[in-house]
């Protein structure tokens, strides 16, 4: 980036910084959302909550189904559909 370009784009530098931070947060959230280890840990916490009586069986089953669906979706994306 040249000196003139740098000076002309200086007023939008804070916006670029905010966009960069937002992109990094989005990337981290996507990784966590689709990380099988995180999903398995959430399932373990869910089981602990059920055993402790913090949630009902209905709440457990609803949340377990949601987490398992996400886990299966992640595995389906990672496994190549065309095995030769």
Query: Per the domain annotation, does 31 fall within a domain?
Result: yes
Inside any domain, residue 4: no
**Is 1 among the domain residues?**
no
d(CA 80, CA 65): 24
Domains in the chain, number: 1
Q: Give a yes or no: residue 29 inside a domain.
A: yes
- Model confidence at 58, pLDDT cuts 50, 70, 90, reads very high
φ, ψ of residue 64 in degrees (nearest 5): -65, -45
Residue 84 lies in a domain: no
Domain of residue 35: give its range: 13-78
Q: What is the pLDDT of residue 33?
A: 82
Residue scoring higher pLDDT (84 or 47): 47
Backbone angles phi, psi at 11, to 5 degrees: -60, -25
67 found inside a domain: yes
Beta carbons of 64 and 46 less than 8 angstroms apart: yes
Mean pLDDT is highest, among 15-19, 28-32, 41-45, for 41-45
């Amino acid at each position: 980036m040249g000196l003139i370009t740098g000076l002309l784009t200086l007023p939008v530098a804070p916006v670029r910084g905010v966009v960069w931070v937002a992109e990094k947060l989005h990337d981290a959230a996507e990784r966590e959302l689709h990380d099988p280890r995180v999903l398995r840990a959430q399932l373990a916490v869910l089981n602990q909550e059920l055993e402790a009586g913090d949630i009902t069986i209905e709440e457990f089953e609803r949340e377990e189904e949601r987490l398992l669906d996400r886990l299966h979706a992640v595995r389906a994306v990672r496994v190549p559909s065309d095995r030769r």
